[in-house]
Structure 1
Amino acid sequence: MGKAQERTRRQILSAFLELLSEKPYNMISVSEISEASFITRSTFYRYFDDKKSLLMAEIEDTVQKRVPDQPLLVQFVEYVEDYWPVLRNLTPSRQSRSDLHEILNQVLWELINRRVANGSQNDPVIAFIQRSRNRDIMIGAIEGMLMGILERYVIEGTEKINHRQLEAAIGEIDSLFQSKQY
């Protein structure tokens, strides 16, 4: 992609992120994104198939801006805190759960799976999954846990994650598995 095309792509992503910080995902149209990006609708469709593919690109871009060698849970907490204005307008509790819930779950699953495949050595959660004989199930369990945490914070209207509370909950989950009483 040339410089002009990359600039236009970034312009679309930036306008979408700005709109998303102001209102829910399902209330944003491709026409609004195009107008905010100073492009035509046909130009939008040269870069993205639809609003869903734009959302996926935005999430992947913002996640890649994070420091990749941080443990998954640390990165997740920082991501949620940094992008709270956007996430609160994406979370399924604010609109139809169907499509958006699936998108967020898919993104989380893919991010965790990538980390497992890349072999993040300094991450206890990823190391735990790598040792598992049922990686896909473990990835799904961690992804579900992170999604549940995100939904809980949205329901509570929390903008800052209580790190101690999260660590305590993770410790409790870990001790549940360590006791092997399941």
Structure 2
Amino acid sequence: MTTRRRLSPDERRRQLLDAGAELFAAEPYDAVLMENVAERAGISRALLYRYFPNKRALFAAIYQQATKRLLADTPIDPASPVFEQLSAGLDVHFDYFAANRNTVLAANRELAGDPVIQTIVNDELAELRQRLLDASGVDGRARDMASAALTGWLLFVRVLCVEWLADGTFTRPELHAMCVGALRGALGTVPGAERFLAEADANR
């Protein structure tokens, strides 16, 4: 007969996040109950509530963890071809979105008005914008133009991805092409963005 190892608080929290992530990915947000998460983790609901006071808090922690992993998996090295890295970064995000469709839709639809969830989303978009801006090589007034253009582009990509997940009216390759084409257009009038645009044209 074996004894179950007692988990540390950090280990327990990771276990609960993993269990919750699996359920939110598999089911729509409203279909996931806290007791389902507790059962999946093999603990009592009382213990689950000691870590997360409600379902929204659990979901927020799961989404925060996911965005951190996505950012870690999509670094941009200004010394390497920026367009190739951006294209690969889009695919990393698309992979996550496709595997966690219900989670992404919940964050962008059911919980679109939740300030905690939207702060997580906005912080990720801000970090992605800053990385692309730093890698673009533009400065001065052109940097301000590029920053505004990148902000608009990232919001466009977000909306497009949600439409892709929700309705499937276009394919993943078409989604990728639309995102890349929109960025080419957004930066097309920004002075100093020639390097990026040249890379993009070379990969058409």
TM-score, normalization: structure 2?
0.63
Asked if 1:132 is matched to 2:144, the reply is yes
Q: Describe the shift of the 1:50–1:114 C-alpha distance in structure 2 as closer, same or farther (beyond 3 A).
A: farther
Are 2:120 and 1:107 equivalent residues in the alignment? yes
The percent of aligned pairs where both chains have the same amino acid is 15
Larger radius of gyration between Structure 1 and Structure 2: 2
Map of 1:84-99 to 2, 5 A cutoff? 84-91=98-105, 97=109, 99=110
Paired amino acid for 2:113 = E
Letter in 1 for 2:96: D
Report SS of the residue matched to 1:53: helix
- In the superposition, the TM-score normalised over structure 1's length comes to 0.69
Q: State the partner residue of 2:94.
A: 80
Q: Which among 178, 191, 195 is matched to residue 165 of structure 1?
A: 178
Change (3 A) 1:10 1:156: same
1:145 aligns with 2:159: no
Deviation at 1:11, TM superposition (A): 1.2
Q: Which amino acid aligns with 2:93?
A: Y
Q: Mark the CA change 1:165 to 1:13 in structure 2 (over 3 Å): closer, same or farther.
A: same
Matched with 2:197 is none
CA distance in 1 between partners of 2:113 and 2:150 (Å): 15
Instruction: Give RMSD over aligned pairs.
Output: 3.8
Per-residue CA shift, 1:159-179, capped at 9, x if unaligned?
73543332112212333x549
1:166–1:143: structure 2 CA closer, same or farther, 3 Å change rule? closer
2:133/2:143 contact within 8 Å kept: no
C-alpha contact 2:28 2:103 (8 A) present in aligned 1: yes
29, 38, 56: which one aligns with 1:25? 29
Q: In structure 1, what is the Cα distance between the partners aligned to 2:90 and 2:166?
A: 18
Matches within 5 A, 1:27-66: 27-65=31-69, 66=72
* Paired residue secondary structure (1:18): helix
Deviation at 1:112, TM superposition (A): 2.8
In the TM superposition, residue 155 of structure 1 has moved relative to its aligned partner by 3.4
- Equivalent in the alignment of 1:9: 13
The alignment partner of 1:49 has SS state of coil
* Structure 1: gaps spanning 5 or more residues: none
- Pick closer, same or farther for the CA change 1:14–1:96 going to 2, 3 Å: closer
Structure 2: stretches of 5+ with no match in the other structure: 1-6, 77-84, 192-204
- CA gap of 1:4–1:20, structure 2 versus 1, over 3 A, is same
Which stretches of structure 1, 4 residues or longer, exceed 4 Å deviation after superposition? 71-74, 114-117, 119-122, 137-140
